Structure 1
Amino acid sequence: MEGDHDQVGGTGLSGMPATVDPGTKAQILLAAGIDLQRAGHAEEAIDAYGRAIAERPDLVEAYHNLGVALRASGRTAASVACFRRALRLRPGHAATLSNLGNALRSLGETEDAVSLLRQAAAGEPGSPEIAYNLALVLRDAGRLDEAIQSFGRSLTLRPERHQVRIERGLAHLLGGNFTDGFADLALRYPSPIVPVRGKTWPRWDGSALDGRHLLVRAGDDLAETALFARFVPLAAARGVPLILEGPDDAIPLLETIEGAARVVRRGGRYANVAAEAPLPDLPRILGITLDTLPAPVPYLRVPRTPRREMAPPVPGRLRIGIMWSTGSTDGDARAPSCPLTHFLRLAERPDVDLVSLQAGAARDIRQAGAGALVQEIEGIEDPAIFAAAIAAMDLVVGVDGPAVHLAGAMGHPVWIVLPHAPEWCWMLGRDDCPWYPSAWLFRQRKPGDWAPVLRRVRAALDQALDAPPEPEPAPADEAPKTP
């Protein structure tokens, strides 16, 4: 909003006459807060709602809207108190129940969130938004069949909402239903894709192209590229000459994938192209199921380009590469990021060296007082150096992010620590991963509770390093004979 934010209907809030009764003043402040919130001025809106409540402590709309504004600004715990106060003033209000459920979902209080959103859905069964919110928290709780039904109910009420279909697809994939999951997920990738020099091509349907080329496009997300790169050789095996396109810094890594006739930088000129496909849409096009999922690791390798040399390993010591964060969590207990301090448990062993595989890690390392415990690698943000660093580790331990995906794609030993509600590719209730044979999964049992997860990682490390070596089998000619 431009202009004086305190002006509502020509009345200056800061100069409001003293003769205005508290009820009217509260309504003016409430209206101002709504306008400010819609204009993206969260702090001013929060102030206006607070002043409205001071004038009229029973103004339920002010508590509700204050809760929405606080949550949008990252103060989820404070928003919960506002929503609860609004419900005491107006019990059973569906929108407030839904917003409180959403806030508790962010705080990891999944079961309470499910209960509240069920109440909201019962109170307003015609709301596609509430059905969608209920579906999201049911998916977090691992109740996939119920979640898929609730996504379907939301789509029945409002069929045009593509995001609901995408989220339903993630629930299908989490349960191992690749056919329905990738069909829904295809909506993430519009067709045609962003034009190249004004040129677009139809989406590939898996058929032969009569000698013309297929353009496959990798995005900027290195974790996503590592996950889906395995499908490039399968697409090429259909007799389709394939051009693989990607961002500049990833080209050396993409060139290690088999099956592409050419690997090109984004936005180049392409001759004789008949169709295109986003890299993550290949499993749908190829008809991949959980039973036919290829995992021929390694399918990504260290690029043959000049790269920074890693320091040689210290004899008798295990070098573990770690990644603990994927960025800001905004107070969300469901986020995959884990405090670095939990990873330092691994460095308590005298025979372990920790190496950061995380770009921009200096601040976290300094705040954790871990400068003497965690080594950093210069240039780790370069995918080629990143891959070389992973290859130089004895083991990678990390949260769901590019380090663990690239390690898995390279066939490198990797232990992955996962939040209670993981991304779809890790599925539910298993400690192995069909996508990465070299991976071992360690899951949260309670949202936001990382300490027990890293204790289990440490116990597994102790067992691996301290277990007596298995005896070498005797040569065949020396094997004991059965009498």
Structure 2
Amino acid sequence: MNPDFGTIDRQAREFIAAGRFAEAEALVRPYLASGSGPLPLWKLLVAAIRPQGQIAETRVIQEMLVATVPGDLTERFHLSETLLLLGEFERGWREYHHRYSMAHTHAIGRRVQRPRWDGRPIPGRTLLIHDEQGFGDTFQFMRMVPWAKARSGARVVLEVNEETLSLAQRTAGFDHIVARGNLPPAFDMHCEMMSLPMVMGLKPADLPGQIPYLSADPQRLDKWQRRLAGLPRPLVALVWAGRPTHVNDANRSMTLDQLAPLGHAGVTFLSIQKGPAADEAVSPPAGMSLVSLSDEIEDFEDTAAILSIADLLISVDSSPVHLAGGLGRPAWVMLPMVPDWRWMLDRSDTPWYPSVRLFRQRQRADWSDIVAAMALELTRFKGR
């Protein structure tokens, strides 16, 4: 009797959507035991085993899928994230270029009627570098704008989103800056900010570059120094949830109550949490000294100033981490068992930011080990 692959596909997708990855794996794997089978089942197996941390096998299957159907750009993008997670930058960046070629992302890709810069010198010409995706991505890759200017020899026009414009204005490497949505000056070539690693051949050894490359506004610093004066130190900024609309938010976010063990370390926490989760700061865990600044933070300039004054940031994987790293400020990051590609695997540090320390889940969806380890380290941190 031939298996009903339609039913298997539906059941496996239901398991995966519910986070029941081991059950999805157990359902699909027997039909692939011979080493062959329908490609959709192989894709389902990847979707089931990658969240469980089976990265080596994930990579093997993804390589097979890409070799079998090179025109499947979605699979090439998925492979890119696995390669970058493994620290294989050269091919990883090349495949990452397909991020706007998928059916669900094609509409948001930037259409530019000029050729993409390929990394060669173009003296006398104008290069538009434009940001993309999230705020954290902009903070992370802004460091490469001066490198691109030096490599290209071009006049550089930098285009960033309005929310990061004022911070970007204090960085280096551009001749003109414009907020996204406004017409930039005429340019000859362009490059997405997150394509700079591909065209410039970025390697882990090239990182981190000059740190800090971001800075806080002096007037905001003065404002927040007055606001925070008198609070017992150390001051620890706190973010426990990311943007709810992020595709991976359920995997990376937690509740404030889950951080209760940190409250016994005897430090003053500063909530810089934004979004719906900020309301949790109204009722912090027992014993936690928490000052909520969320409603007072108007923009990233306020966040940058607070991070420049605070002794430490503790955060889930969110944009303040990249802001702290770019500022050269200390940050501890709580990562899910299978993190975003930029944090790679099996290390407590990151080549992107020397001041950032990584704490990783041992079991999927279980933050308890991380919080316990942080509570112990925080007690030591206070004693310095």
Asked whether the two chains share a fold, i.e. TM above 0.5, the reply is yes
User: Highest CA radius of gyration, 1 or 2?
Assistant: 1
Deviations 1:109-163 (A, max 9, x none): 5544444332244489453322222223443344334212212333345443322
What are the ranges of 5 or more consecutive residues in structure 2 without an aligned counterpart? none
Note if 1:382 corresponds to 2:299: yes
User: Which residue is 2:274 aligned to?
Assistant: 359
Which one of 239, 248, 252 corresponds to residue 336 of structure 1?
252
- 1:288 correspondence with 2:202: yes
CA contact (8 A) 2:31 2:37 kept: no
1:284 offset after TM fit, Å?
A: 0.6
* SS across alignment from 1:243: strand
Shift of the 463–218 alpha-carbon distance from structure 1 to 2, 3 Å rule, reads same
User: Which structure would you say has the larger RCO, counting Cα contacts within 8 Å and 6 or more residues apart?
Assistant: 2
One-letter identity of the residue aligned with 1:223: G
The residue number in structure 2 matching 1:152 is 63
- CA distance, structure 2, for counterparts of residue 162 and residue 331 of structure 1: 19
SS of the residue 2:252 aligns to: coil
- The equivalent position to 1:250 in structure 2, one of 133, 154, 164, is 164
Whether the aligned pair in 1 keeps the contact of 2:52 and 2:364 (CA below 8 Å) is no
1: distance between equivalents of 2:246 and 2:294?
A: 27
Structure 1 runs not aligned, ≥5 long:
1-89, 470-483
Go from structure 1 to structure 2 and tell me whether the alpha carbon gap of 1:105 and 1:421 turns closer, same or farther (over 3 Å shift): farther
- Sequence identity, in percent? 29
Instruction: Decide whether the 8 Å contact of 2:263 with 2:285 is kept in 1.
Output: no
* Contact persistence 1:334–1:447 (CA under 8 A): no
Tell me the CA shift for residue 298 of structure 1. 0.8
1:216 alignment partner AA = I
Output the CA distance in 2 between the equivalents of 1:331 and 1:149.
Answer: 24
Which residue of the partner structure matches residue 85 of structure 1?
A: none
Change in CA separation of 1:394 and 1:449 when aligned onto 2, cut-off 3 Å: same
Q: Which residue of 2 aligns with 1:218?
A: 131
Q: Which AA in structure 2 matches 1:205?
A: D
1:389 Cα deviation (Å)? 1.9
Inter-CA distance 346–262: structure 2 relative to 1 (3 Å threshold)? same
- Cα–Cα, structure 1 residues 411 and 103, in superposed 2: closer, same or farther, change >3 Å? farther
Q: In structure 1, what is the Cα distance between the partners aligned to 2:116 and 2:247?
A: 39
Is 2:365 aligned against 1:448?
yes
The whole-number CA distance in structure 1 between the counterparts of 2:231 and 2:280 is 28
> Distance in 1 between the 2:217 and 2:28 partners?
49
Match of 1:278 among 179, 182, 192: 192
Deviates more, 1:116-125 or 1:309-318: 116-125
- For 1:91 and 1:308, how far apart are their aligned partners in 2? 72
1:101 CA drift (Å): 4.4
Q: Pick which of 306-315 and 214-223 moved more.
A: 306-315
Shift of 1:184: 0.7
Tell me which residue corresponds to 1:167. Answer: 78
Q: Is the 8 A contact 2:271 2:281 kept in 1?
A: no
1:459 to 361, 367, 376: 376
Separation (CA, whole Å) in 1 of partners of 2:279 and 2:157: 40
Residues in 1 aligned to 2:176 and 2:352: alpha-carbon distance in whole angstroms: 25
Check conservation: 1:325, 1:399, Cα contact below 8 A: yes
- CA apart distance, 1:440: 1.0
Match of 1:277, SS state, is strand
Which residue of structure 1 aligns with residue 321 of structure 2?
Answer: 404
